[in-house]
Amino acid sequence: MKKFKFLEHTADAQFIAYGRTIEEAFENVGLATFEAMLNTDRIDLEEKIEIDLHAQQIEELVYEWLSELIFLFSANNIVFNKFDVNIDRDEDGFKLSGSILGEKIDMEKHKIHTEVKAPTYHGLSVKQNDFFEIKVLLDT
């Protein structure tokens, strides 16, 4: 199964991430977000960060997930390419917990080709058929 595909967009970065499970789709959202910025094949797994997020709606959880990834990139100068998450649902909504792995950015090694400023709610959707699809538009 393809992990994600980028869609044509005039000004920003838009993609659909896929997964056999909702967790795999969220992990591929993370990978596509960093792939929009740089070549994720050149990221070594040297730093590990634990993440816990909560939201009432699954689309809100996608937004919170992307906001946290972009914040960690901007505040700590870390780029990521491995995501391992678990998503649970309870009476309060959805909870994401897991870890992300990457390394401190090295401008000689990691050539940034697009700066991602923030996720958006515009066109954000989560669909389930035979597999999960998460559509995202990133403000670049």
By DSSP bridging, strand 93-104 and strand 125-128 are unpaired
3-state secondary structure of 23: helix
The sign of the dihedral angle between the CA atoms of 95, 101, 103, 108 is negative
Quick count: other Cβ atoms within 10 Å of Cβ 59?
Answer: 16
130 appears as a binding residue in the annotation:
no
44 appears as a binding residue in the annotation:
no
User: What is d(CA 110, CA 6) in angstroms, rounded to the nearest whole number?
Assistant: 20
User: What is d(CA 18, CA 1) in angstroms, rounded to the nearest whole number?
Assistant: 8
Binding residues for Ca(2+): 12, 139-140
Binding residues: 12, 139-140
